[in-house]
Amino acid sequence: MKRKLALIVLLCFSALLLLTGCGSGSQKSGEVDDSWERIKEQGYFIVGLDDAFPPMGFREEGTNEIVGFDIDLAKEAAKRMGVDVKFQPVVWDTVIETLNIGDIDVIWNGCTITEERLKQINFTKPYLADHQIIVVQKGSSITSKKDLAGKTIGLQAGSSAREAVEKDTETFQSLGKIVEFSSNDEALLDLSTGRLDAVVVDEVVGRYYIAKKPDTYTVLTEHFGEEEFGVGVRKSDQAFLDELNKTLDAMKADGTASQISVKWFGEDIIKK
């Protein structure tokens, strides 16, 4: 009798485990992507950015307000989507982790689409093409990649600049030293004082600084390849990503994105 009772208890326990496992599995497979509904319900999405990345996103002198090309794009997109947008400065080196733990909703700050990043997050369709340019001091003897042999170059930590340099195996192996900085403006400041021989930086940023200090910097003709910018979104937030893509497509089609581009760059460089 005891043996039969023990068998019944064991069978019941096994059935309970089976039901629990099935329940858990069906719930997981039946999960609904409510990312866009969640954004609409909270009434805003949070943009993570490096706030020292002109002209994409930076602090306006005098007001300390965050302004820039990507800021204007994000504000226009949010308005069309019927929600507000908030801007959250982050440490760029850990921006993907900040996105994936939910502290921000998007990375919208001249974020280059790379294979490595695509393993961790999703991106909207590209909206801008860019290059990783080489900036040197005005009058520098460095005029090509070959002249970087044995030299010290600076770049922003966590940016795609390092990956772009490493892809050029010959140049990368010839370098003397790579120094990483928390922001591009810090790297360019060190270049202006002679602590660096060159800086590798996004063209949109480099051109902005050079326009402000034409007697300080020079851009080499050679660069480290073309890149594309996209808005980074969590892999789980496909519904939100779809809505962003639809909105950006509309902004490109009606010329609004081009108008914002002309405002910040003097020309239309939007990737259609």
138-163 confidence digits (pLDDT tens): 999 999 999 999 999 999 998 889 99
pLDDT of residue 30: 56
H-helix or E-strand containing 219?
A: strand 217-229
Please work out, in degrees rounded to the nearest 5, the angle formed at the alpha carbon of residue 76 by the alpha carbons of 83 and 206: 130
Tokens 């496909």 appear where?
Answer: 238
Which of 84, 8, 105, 10 has the alpha carbon at shortest distance from 40?
A: 84
Q: Looking at the domain 35-127+230-265, which fold is it? A: D-Maltodextrin-Binding Protein; domain 2 (3.40.190)
Q: Is the pTM of this model over 0.85?
A: no
Which of 97, 34, 29 has the alpha carbon at shortest distance from 240?
A: 34
Quick: pLDDT tens for 211-262: 788 899 999 999 998 889 999 999 999 999 999 999 999 999 999 999 999 9
H-helix or E-strand containing 22?
A: helix 2-29
Residues 209 and 198: their CA atoms lie apart, in Å, by 14
Q: How far is CA 47 from CA 98, 99, 133, 150, 272, in A?
A: 11, 9, 26, 39, 23
DSSP 56-106: TEEEPTTT--EESHHHHHHHHHHHHHT-EEEEEE--GGGHHHHHHTTS-SE
With respect to CATH, is domain 131-226 assigned 3.20.20.80?
Answer: no
Q: Interhelix angle for 35-42 vs 238-253, to 10°? A: 70
Residues 73 and 220: their CA atoms lie apart, in Å, by 30
Assign 265 a pLDDT band (cuts: 50, 70, 90): confident
The mean predicted confidence, pLDDT, of the chain is 88
pLDDT of residue 25: 30
Q: Do domains 35-127+230-265 and 131-226 have the same CATH topology?
A: yes
Q: Where are the domains of the chain?
A: 35-127+230-265, 131-226
Which of 150, 218, 164 has the alpha carbon at shortest distance from 188?
A: 218
What is residue 170's DSSP assignment?
A: H
